[in-house]
Chains A and B, each alone.
Chain A
Amino acid sequence: METPENDPKINRRKFIANGARASVLIGIGGLAALVAKKTIAGQTVWQLDPAKCIQCGRCATNCVLTPSAVKCVHVYAMCGYCDLCGGYFKPETKTLTTGAENQLCPTNAIKRKFVEDPFFEYTIDEPLCIGCGKCVKGCGAFGNGSLQLQIRHNICVRCNQCSIARSCPADAFSRVPANQPYLLKESGQEENNNKK
């Protein structure tokens, strides 16, 4: 004897009902994802424009965080990998070695690594970087400007009114879309928009 559960007609009904439920769920899920995406796209975060930055030092002193959420970012595509790096060495350094007395960075946050004669690679040790911009100034004046200051969004606490922006004399801070949170000069733009 056939029970209602075994009745193929009832099963078909069940199948259609389940299908309808699934469609509704998928629709709601899709709509939620779309709304979330649009919401994120509409959000903005603070960022500083390296083209306007004058390396005044206030990024290091005026952030609510210590050390600052502003860090030096190295745009490798622009770097000349110079032996005598204007962002790494103090002017008139007698020997091009990694001795602390030779380094421009007050916190030893730039690491110099030999690649091949006469090229060296420079990397930023972010936890040590205080965002003072000394290296940025040196690199911009004597090199290709591959060292640039940026707010690192994995550190920034997203104050409604950024305290550095309020004191920036160059008006270099602005709100940018959260899905494109970095503003880097020239060839580094694409490379660094991919940073999280």
Chain B
Amino acid sequence: MTGNQTAGSAPRQVDPPEHRYAAELQFLAAYDDGARPPGWLLTPRAVVTFVVGSDERPLVLPAGTAAPEGVPPQLAISEKFVGERALVERCVVTLAGERGLLLVGEPGTAKSMLSELLSAAVCGTSALVVQGTAGTTEDQLRYGWNYAALLAQGPTRGALVPSPVMSAMSAGAVARVEEVTRCLPEVQDSLVSILSDRRIAVPELSGEDSAVPAAPGFCLIATANLRDRGVSEMSAALKRRFNFEQVHPIADIELETALVRRQAAAVLERVHAPFAVDDAVLEVLVTAFRDLRTGSTAEGWEVERPSTVMSTAEAVSVAAALGLASAYFPAGHDALALLPGHLLGVVRKDDPADAARLLGYWDGAVRRRAEQGGQLWRQAWELREQLEL
């Protein structure tokens, strides 16, 4: 999972997808030479393949295609987004129609990753991003000024500081707005004219400079978090310029366990330690997360949901913490024994009653599973006092 780092660049904590999967992108561009929407580097079908992978089968360049330099004749595309293929297809088709795409979902459902992957595949860069916060201003979505230059020279093209969105428009690339709903509604609304007129007017300048039109291929991917603000405060005008895709938590427990294991192992790999957490413990961890997330267990028992989000991303961090603990403090600790403490740490965020709900989960579902004879669940039940305050 190290990917191929471009030579000469300093090591980074997180490698953007266009670097990490550069080989795959080049390969796919050569592999599928069908019709592309204007401004796209790959065909829509290849974008889908890039995101969901080729199912571990190596793809072979069609005969007669001269492989560009550095591109292997055959390559298996790795699976990057674990989720429904149809969802990815809908996202790609939305982008191909140059319509705004809004990914909504609970925190930790890989919305941002999906938007990075899509923009890297469509236009080769995922860097044109605005992070939405309550402090985000219109300048960050439209354009700002270099005030020194503005005061010295008056409004000129040179004094204008384009936003990532404006850069994407002039380049015909994909702009990303993370957590768009956290911006103030009036700031969000500056996207309306961008998405409908497809240009940004700069009234301070005159002549040709007074508007920046969007080049073909420009589109916008926004993400929104259902827990924090929801999409409720978005204006209707803005909403109807987006296609909404809801990204759900991973439905299948085995896929989720595999994902947690893979990502936790990747964290440990960075510190050159083996990931030594038992599969059964991981399953207990993932099951607990899923039960608390959905409010009911696989057996159909009702569980009271804590107000905290129990996302897969959180499960990965707990799994990684368990792995790190066993790597750095190998003696004495049983990974399972640490689990309740970590769960409590995840759950106890905003509402003190959440800790009681976790205890309720232990008294209900965990107890019943222990009674039904699950060995690990019995051990987990014996750790109950760790949760009592």
- The finding on whether chains A and B are genuine partners in a shared complex, rather than unrelated, reads no
What is A's interface to B at a CB cutoff of 8 Å? Answer: none
